């Protein structure tokens, strides 16, 4: 009983971290059919910027985190204007932007490597202490990550459902032409979703590195997981990706406990294959009809 | 009556494929202009060019004397040209109400949202009962009505309807045409793309026949009825 609760607790923490990075990726893909391959690098950048602000500049944690989030959001806007916008009208936008953002990721990672070096660095944002609750060991750090994830997802969900700009994002995702005909300036929507996604990547980078450490390529694994989660959920579904992220976090924790860490990724991929055989468009995905 | 929308020597298409060639057309304020002609000869492309979804290669489009052909689609909507596209293009995961409210997205329309919504529900009573239904679960006729209703939620002075009767049962088509007729009588300028020349002749003040990306013939509905050879040549009717 205690063990299963313990596994559930660490699985949910893992899932919460996945959810933060996956929601951004799903938002961008949903709104503009853009698979942002530089998402992992932005995530690492966010972690390092927080480290730089707190350790290098000596700023208090809330200020440092805000700084990292804002810079990563700005990186998202820059990616829209310099990389995505020039090729928006081209045929094969989806393929081109996929390749182009791989390049962006390499550039960002090289900048991090140049600025901070290849050695691991500790993430100074951490909450010490822990809680024993019904025989379950809960570090405050994990509780904070869960809390932050819940807060961010609730805010994102509220913004998408209830605000004017959120409706514009959903409209753009569901039908780009129709959104434009209603007066939505889709360029603004694209820049905004990349900014939100960049900010979420920063939060994700800070939380992930706070449990391990900072490395220039630390974004690779979370991004791969985020892609897997997006595919399982159905590309572009933000609520679906959050549910899938939590589920996969718990799945990983269970597999790691029963079979060991080395099996977790292999079993995760087997799960993905099974899901895609069962539902080729993802659990929450919609069949994309082609209309002539 | 004055010319509200003037299209002058318009050439447009998709990439290297030219669809409209040197097309000129004037639409007078408060009239219903029907565009008829065979499929694939540029009727929808003309509407898409006017609303800014298709970039034009040459020529110009004037709205009440002002050039609008280099504007983005959202700026064109803001100036009062509403395009109800073919195939509805609803937001499938939104409810009927959310779809309608997207029509009043722009600030000018948002101020009148409550009043417009009431007008739309009066004109299309079925939508009132279906407010909370997700758009993707509606029938073809209901979808079309949401598309038209959504267009009416905008602050549009010119309403462009692309084949509102396409693929619908005759009884539903009658209902749609009643709505179009009401809109015409309300004093709006309407541009209607229609496959069915007889229906178009019934309702339109002016009819233009599009062929190979240009205007092949223009006149009133009565004039068209007197020229059966035109229908035979262009529409195989």
Q: What is the pLDDT of residues A108-118, one digit of tens each?
A: 999 999 999 99
The per-residue pLDDT for B141 is 87
**pLDDT, position B225:** 78
ipTM attached to this prediction: 0.88
Interface of B with A in 150-169 (CB under 8 A): 150, 154
Mean pLDDT calculated for residue range A273-292: 70
Q: Residue with structure tokens 């779809």?
A: B99
Helix, strand and coil percent figures for chain B, each rounded to 5: 40, 30, 30
Q: Does the structure show a pLDDT above 80 at A16? A: yes
Among B105, B106, B134, B153, most A C-beta atoms within 10 A, so best to mutate, is B105
Binned at pLDDT 50, 70 and 90, residue A236 comes out as confident
Residue B101 contacts A where some CB pair is shorter than 8 Å: yes
Residue of chain B nearest A290, judged by CA positions: B87
Contact A80, A31 (CB under 8 A): no
Across A98-126, average pLDDT: 94
Predicted confidence (pLDDT) at residue B196 exceeds the cutoff of 90: no
The DSSP code for A281 is T
What integer is the mean pLDDT of A272-292? Answer: 71
Given this model, what pLDDT does residue B183 score?
A: 86
> Per the structure block, which two tokens stand in for A12?
């949910």
Interfacial residues of A (vs B; Cβ cutoff 8 Å): 91, 164, 167-168, 170-171, 174-175, 177-187, 286, 291
Mean pLDDT score, A211-233: 90
Does position B207 have pLDDT exceeding 80, yes or no?
yes
If you write DSSP's letter for every residue of B88-151 in order, what string do you get? ----TTSBHHHHHHHHT-SHHHHTTHHHHHHHHHHHSHHHHHTTTSBGGGS-HHHHHHHHHHHH
Check whether A291 has a pLDDT greater than 50.
Answer: no
Counting residues of chain A whose pLDDT is more than 70, the rounded percentage is: 97
Q: What confidence tier does A287 reach under pLDDT thresholds 50, 70, 90?
A: low
Chain A residue with minimum CA distance to B135: A174
* Res A131: pLDDT: 84
Nearest CA in chain A to B99: A171
Q: Spell out the domain ranges in chain A.
A: 15-218
pLDDT grade for A263, boundaries at 50, 70 and 90: confident
B40 interfacial to chain A (CB closer than 8 Å):
no
Asked whether residue B216 carries a pLDDT value surpassing 70, the answer given is yes
Residues A182, B53: C-beta atoms closer than 8 Å: no
Are A174 and B72 inside 8 Å of each other by CB? no
CB nearest to A168's CB, from B73, B105, B154:
B105
Burial of A269 (0-12, 13-18, 19+ CB in 10 A): exposed
If phi > 0 it is left, if psi is from -120 to 50 it is alpha, else beta; for residue A121 that is beta
pLDDT value at A134 more than 90: no
Pairwise CB contact (< 8 Å): A175 & B90: yes
Residue-level pLDDT at B88: 77
Mean pLDDT in residue range A245-267:
90
Confidence grade of residue A289 (pLDDT, cut at 50, 70, 90): very low
Mean pLDDT rounded to a whole number for chain A: 90
**pLDDT band at residue A292 using 50, 70 and 90 as cut-offs:** very low
Report the mean per-residue pLDDT for chain B. 89
Work out the average pLDDT over A159-186.
Answer: 93
Catalogue the long-range contacts made by B200-206 (C-beta closer than 8 Å, 24 or more residues apart): B200/B34, B200/B36, B200/B224, B201/B34, B201/B225, B203/B32, B203/B34, B203/B177, B204/B32, B204/B33, B204/B34, B205/B28, B205/B31, B205/B32, B205/B33, B206/B28, B206/B31, B206/B32, B206/B33, B206/B34
Task: Write the residue in B92, B103, B136 that is nearest to A182 by C-beta.
Answer: B103
Provide mean pLDDT across the span A29-56.
94
Nearest residue of A to residue B91 by CA position?
A: A174
pLDDT for B132? 93
**Mean of the pLDDT values across residues B86-112?**
91
pLDDT of B236 reads: 64
**Integer Cα distance of A187 and A198 in angstroms:** 17
Interface check for B112 against chain A (CB to CB < 8 A): the answer is: no
H or E element: which one contains B63?
A: strand B56-63
For A184, the closest of B74, B83, B101 (CB atoms) is: B74
Q: Higher confidence at residue A24 or residue B221?
A: A24
Between residues A187 and B165, which one has the greater pLDDT?
A: A187
Segment 170-209 of chain B within 8 Å of chain A by CB: none
Chain A residue with minimum CA distance to B153: A182
pLDDT at A43: 96
- Buried b / exposed e over B148-170, threshold 16 CB at 10 Å, is bbbbbbbbbbbbbbbbbbbebee
């Amino acid at each position: 009983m205690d063990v299963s609760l313990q596994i559930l607790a660490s699985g949910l923490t893992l899932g919460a971290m996945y959810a933060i990075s996956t929601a951004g990726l799903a938002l961008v893909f949903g709104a503009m059919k853009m698979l942002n391959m530089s998402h992992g690098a932005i995530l690492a950048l966010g972690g390092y910027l927080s480290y730089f602000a707190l350790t290098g500049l000596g700023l208090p944690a809330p200020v440092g985190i805000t700084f990292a989030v804002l810079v990563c959001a700005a990186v998202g806007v820059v990616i829209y204007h310099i990389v995505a916008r020039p090729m928006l009208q081209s045929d094969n936008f989806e393929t081109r932007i996929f390749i182009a953002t791989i390049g962006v990721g390499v550039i960002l990672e090289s900048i991090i490597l140049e600025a901070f070096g290849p050695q691991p660095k500790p993430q100074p944002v951490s909450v010490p202490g822990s809680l024993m609750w019904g025989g379950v060991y809960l570090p405050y750090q994990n509780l904070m990550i869960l809390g932050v994830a819940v807060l961010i997802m609730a805010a994102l969900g509220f913004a998408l459902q209830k605000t004017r700009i959120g409706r514009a994002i959903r409209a753009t995702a569901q039908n780009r032409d129709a959104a434009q005909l209603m007066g939505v300036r889709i360029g603004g929507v694209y820049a905004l979703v990349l900014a939100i996604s960049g900010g979420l990547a920063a939060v994700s980078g800070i939380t992930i590195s706070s449990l391990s450490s900072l490395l220039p390529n630390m974004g690779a694994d979370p991004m791969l997981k985020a892609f897997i989660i997006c595919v399982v959920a159905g590309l572009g579904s933000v609520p679906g990706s959050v549910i899938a992220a939590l589920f996969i976090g718990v799945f990983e924790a269970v597999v790691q406990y029963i079979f060991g860490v080395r099996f977790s990724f292999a079993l995760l991929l087997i799960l993905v294959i099974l899901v895609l055989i069962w539902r080729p468009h993802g659990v929450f995905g919609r069949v994309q009809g082609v209309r002539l | 009556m004055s010319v509200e929308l003037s299209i002058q020597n318009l050439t447009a298409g998709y990439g290297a494929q030219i669809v409209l060639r040197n097309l000129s057309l004037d639409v007078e304020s408060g009239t219903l202009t029907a565009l008829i002609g065979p499929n694939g000869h540029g009727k929808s492309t003309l509407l898409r060019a006017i609303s800014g979804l298709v970039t034009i290669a040459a020529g110009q489009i004037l709205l009440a004397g002002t050039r609008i052909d280099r504007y983005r689609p959202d700026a064109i909507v803001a100036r009062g040209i509403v395009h109800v596209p073919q195939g509805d293009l609803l937001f499938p995961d939104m409810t009927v109400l959310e779809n309608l409210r997207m029509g009043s997205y722009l600030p000018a329309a948002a101020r009148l949202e409550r009043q417009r919504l009431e007008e739309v529900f009066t004109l299309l009573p079925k939508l009132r009962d279906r407010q909370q239904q997700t758009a993707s679960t509606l029938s073809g006729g209901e979808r079309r009505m949401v598309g038209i209703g959504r267009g009416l939620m905008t602050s549009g002075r010119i309403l462009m309807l692309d084949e509102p009767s396409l693929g619908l049962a005759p009884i539903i088509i009658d209902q749609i045409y009643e709505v179009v007729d009401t809109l015409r009588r309300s004093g709006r300028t309407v541009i209607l793309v229609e496959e069915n020349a007889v229906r178009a002749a019934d309702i339109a003040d002016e009819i233009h026949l599009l062929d190979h990306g240009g205007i092949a013939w223009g006149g009133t509905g009565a004039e068209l009825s007197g020229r059966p050879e035109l229908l035979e040549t262009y529409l195989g009717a």
